[in-house]
Amino acid sequence: MRTGTLPSTAYDDRPYTRGGTVDRADVGVLVQSAVDGDAAAWKALVEGLSPLVWSVVRAHRLSDADGHEVYQTVWFRFAQHLGRIREPDKAGSWLASTARNECLRTLRSLSRLTVTDDPHLLDGVSEVGAPEQSLLDAEEAAAQSERIRRLWQEFERLGDRCRQLLRVLMASPPPSYQEVSAALGVAVGSIGPLRQRCLRRLRARLDDARGTS
């Protein structure tokens, strides 16, 4: 059973945020079908739940090479245990927990945290037009790029706990709180309040940055 193809780049924004989607209500059925050898069901699981796996990898800030290895290992272990998962409808939580464990194992083996570059969120492409419009478009693109740069700059100044939580919550489709809990080892009841605190801190840092610029 194949684990499917990898995104073109582990930390490329587009595969990460625009991966396939799968209705969580269908996950259990897809798992059972995959156990019975249904290749289409396996493909649907990989495409639908890969964004969740990548979000956990990103939260632990692995290098590109290590991230790919963890991704492959997680799906390999999922294939190995497919017929033994006690709650097939919670396969997302199983994957998130396994991804977290593999990330921590990799970090322990490196004995240090490897920092990677942030993804490029803006690809400034403007259509050819009048010189005046081109200038306005270029200025707007530059302003937007600067806003995004400041956002990520302040994001990186948050504590590790906030950065990990927000990175996982940015997955598309959004993970359930049970999946977030499995990915980060945070109690389900603490996720909402922690998310709000982290967002308030980020907003305050952005306001302060604007006030001093």
Cα torsion 40, 17, 96, 26: sign: negative
The residue type found at 22 is V
56-86 per-position pLDDT tens digit: 888 888 888 888 989 999 998 898 888 888 8
21-50 per-position pLDDT tens digit: 667 678 889 999 988 888 888 888 998 898
Tell whether omega for the bond before 173 is within 30 degrees of 0, i.e. cis: yes
pLDDT at site 124: 43
Residue 202 in contact with residue 154, Cβ under 8 Å? Answer: yes
Cα torsion 68, 71, 99, 172: sign: positive
Task: Give the Cα separation of 84 and 80 in Å (integer).
Answer: 9
39: buried, middle or exposed (CB in 10 Å: 19+, 13-18, 0-12)? exposed
Q: Phi and psi (nearest 5°) for 114?
A: -90, 125
pTM, two decimal places:
0.56
What pLDDT band is residue 157 in, cutting at 50, 70 and 90? confident
